[in-house]
């Protein structure tokens, strides 16, 4: 198993936190005001959320976000969602 197999989804937010691209339909359209958008956009540094159970209640998912830069300034944020349960399995190999 590779780390790519743990990828659940990904989305790209523009400067106002609005989604401009995504791998799957998501529950919300605007992420401005949430740490996954605000931290990387304001600081230029990555952010990692705490593991949370998915809707099935069986799988832990982790969100990681990074700023998208143009000429060194944030213009958006890329967020990826990883299956933490699969990552745990991968780390044991």
pLDDT classification of 1: cutoffs 50, 70, 90: low
Return the CATH number of the domain spanning residue range 3-91: 3.30.450.20
Pair type for strands 7-14 and 19-22: antiparallel
- The residue that leads in pLDDT, 85 or 40, is 40
User: pLDDT tens across 67-80, in order?
Assistant: 999 999 999 999 99
User: pLDDT tens across 9-62, in order?
Assistant: 999 999 999 999 998 877 788 899 999 999 999 999 999 999 999 888 888 899
What is the rounded distance in angstroms from the CA atom of residue 2 to the CA atom of residue 89?
11
Ordered by start, the domain boundaries in the chain are 3-91
Is pLDDT above 90 for 85? no
Q: What share of the chain is helix, strand, coil (3-state, %, to 5)?
A: 25, 45, 35
CB atoms within 10 A of CB 85: 17
């Amino acid at each position: 198993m590779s780390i790519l197999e743990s990828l659940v989804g990904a989305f790209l937010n523009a400067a106002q936190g609005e989604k401009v691209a995504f791998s799957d339909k998501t529950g919300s359209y605007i992420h401005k005001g949430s740490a996954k958008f605000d931290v990387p956009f304001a600081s230029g540094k990555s952010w990692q959320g705490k593991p949370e159970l998915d809707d099935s209640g069986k799988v832990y998912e982790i969100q990681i976000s990074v700023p998208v830069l143009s000429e060194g300034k944030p213009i958006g944020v890329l967020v990826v969602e990883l299956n933490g349960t699969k990552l745990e399995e991968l780390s044991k190999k």
